[in-house]
Structure 1
Amino acid sequence: MKKIQCLKCNKIINVKEIKKGTNIECECGCVQKCLDSDEFISRWRVVNCTSF
């Protein structure tokens, strides 16, 4: 399992796999999309958030 930190509320989200194009939904309601990933780092952007 990989761990991702929510860009809005800073909660830790457990994910099975991180790859380009993956969408992760947090409990706070925002959706984050993986822009790029390699073995050391991944870049994320919030794509849908009602109160950001």
Structure 2
Amino acid sequence: MLNKSVIILFGINLYSMDILLIITILLYASVTLRNGYIQQKRLSLLE
């Protein structure tokens, strides 16, 4: 019984870690995309 609950808790921990990782990657991607977009606009303004 105890062993089963430990495995379930561990599984939930892994699952939430995955979600955090995905959220972090998405945030990072959106920030870098936005920065790239702003830099492109700035370059086109300079031309």
Tell me the TM-score normalized by structure 1. 0.17
The structure showing larger relative contact order (alpha-carbon pairs under 8 Å, at least 6 residues apart) is 1
Structure with bigger helix share is 2
Tell me the TM-score normalized by structure 2. 0.17
